[in-house]
């Protein structure tokens, strides 16, 4: 019983981290599935979402001091909601711009797309440094989700419960959108057979633009939610894009629930390992990946391929 009580906070942290990892990975998975391109800028867009959230919560409007004073007089909770809504919108617009740049790489060697998104990641990171500086920053939070609460003899972070609940709602909303709407059907069709989508009269270029924007907006949402947990710094995107890539392969490329299950598995492994052997916390993620892919090359929920022969 004592062992379970000692494990409980780490299990809670692991589940929360796993849900947030899954949220990061789902945006990455949408782009890989429809675009057939690995977006190496996904992590930088995740970081950009953090910085846009920081701007909308604590703006610095030197040219408009009266507007800044009026806005800062609003409750932190109101400004946080504005950030949660507008940060993904602005990052989604950046995603659209990046997709327009990528159109010249379609139908060519995939290396062109990889190099373009890698270059975009470097540019975004340097722009962040120029605008916001290189020092780590923290996102102010509403009082309602700050601090801790006692459950028995243990103290739990309010924010981690909020972050986990938000991730669950966002994942369910994405599933409902993909499974229950005509646009979701188009996305699924585009992921399986882009030529058939074009033959049915669906504008594939517009679909790709929308999917890329949606995927980057999901990265921004994850960034806003992760900001108080990881802190805000220009290179934080690296901490996001590597687990995201591992999770979509571990869960099975193209499987939404595979990404969720894999995200939870990675979160639990990292959380529990970090609690008892912190130097192994990151390594545990890679060891889990190697163990699963060694026995199931297509991932947990991936479809059978020639690799399984």
Q: What would the pLDDT profile of 256-299 be if each residue is shown by its tens digit? A: 888 899 999 998 888 888 777 777 777 888 888 888 888 887 78
Residue 258's domain is classified under what CATH number? 1.10.3470
In a domain, 72, yes or no: no
> What does each C-alpha distance from 255 to 81, 182, 236 come to in angstroms?
30, 19, 26
In a domain, 70, yes or no: no
φ, ψ of residue 304 to 5 degrees: the values are -60, 140
In a domain, 259, yes or no: yes
In a domain, 251, yes or no: yes
Are 207 and 16 within 8 A, CB to CB? no
Number of separate domains in the chain: 1
**Structure confidence at residue 194 (pLDDT):** 63
**Structure confidence at residue 308 (pLDDT):** 42
Q: How many Å apart are CA 76 and CA 81, to the nearest integer?
A: 9
| Strand locations in the chain (E) | 148-151, 154-157
> What does each C-alpha distance from 37 to 30, 54, 117, 129 come to in angstroms?
10, 30, 9, 27
Are 45 and 243 within 8 A, CB to CB? no
Q: How many Å apart are CA 144 and CA 266, to the nearest integer?
A: 29
For the chain, helix, strand, coil in percent to 5 are: 80, 5, 20
> Which of the 8 DSSP states describes residue 309?
-
In a domain, 64, yes or no: no
Ranges of residues in the chain whose predicted pLDDT is under 70: 1-6, 62-63, 151-154, 190-198, 200, 303-309
End-to-end CA distance of the chain: 46
pLDDT digits (tens, 9 = 90+) for 19-46: 988 988 888 888 887 777 788 899 999 9
**Structure confidence at residue 223 (pLDDT):** 92
> 102 lies in which domain range?
2-58+84-302
In a domain, 309, yes or no: no
Q: How many Å apart are CA 216 and CA 100, to the nearest integer?
A: 14
**Structure confidence at residue 2 (pLDDT):** 57
Q: How many Å apart are CA 106 and CA 299, to the nearest integer?
A: 27
């Amino acid at each position: 019983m004592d062992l379970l009580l000692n494990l409980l906070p780490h299990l809670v942290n692991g589940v929360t981290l796993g849900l947030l990892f899954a949220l990061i990975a789902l945006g990455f998975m949408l782009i890989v599935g429809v675009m057939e391109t690995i977006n190496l800028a996904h992590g930088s867009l995740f970081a950009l979402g953090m910085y846009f959230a920081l701007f909308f919560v604590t703006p610095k409007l030197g040219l408009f001091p009266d507007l800044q004073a009026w806005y800062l007089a609003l409750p932190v909770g109101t400004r946080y909601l504005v950030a949660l809504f507008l940060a993904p919108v602005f990052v989604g617009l950046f995603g659209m711009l990046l997709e327009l740049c990528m159109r010249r790489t379609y139908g060519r060697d995939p290396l062109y797309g990889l190099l373009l998104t890698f270059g975009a990641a470097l540019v975004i990171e340097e722009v962040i440094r120029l605008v916001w500086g290189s020092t780590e920053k923290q996102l102010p939070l509403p009082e309602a989700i700050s601090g801790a609460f006692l459950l028995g003899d243990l103290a739990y972070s309010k924010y981690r419960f909020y972050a986990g609940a938000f991730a669950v709602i966002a994942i369910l909303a994405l599933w409902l959108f993909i499974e229950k709407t005509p646009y979701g059907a188009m996305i699924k069709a585009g992921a399986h057979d882009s030529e058939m989508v074009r033959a049915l009269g669906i504008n594939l270029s517009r679909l790709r633009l929308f999917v890329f924007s949606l995927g980057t907006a999901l990265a921004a949402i994850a960034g806003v939610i992760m900001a108080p947990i990881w802190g805000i710094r220009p290179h934080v995107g690296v901490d996001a894009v590597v687990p995201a890539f591992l999770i979509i392969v571990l869960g099975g490329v193209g499987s939404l629930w595979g990404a969720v299950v894999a995200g939870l598995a990675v979160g639990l492994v990292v959380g529990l390992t970090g609690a008892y052997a912190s130097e192994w916390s990151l390594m545990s993620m890679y060891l889990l990946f190697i163990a699963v892919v060694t026995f199931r090359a297509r991932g947990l929920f991936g479809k059978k391929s020639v690799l399984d022969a």
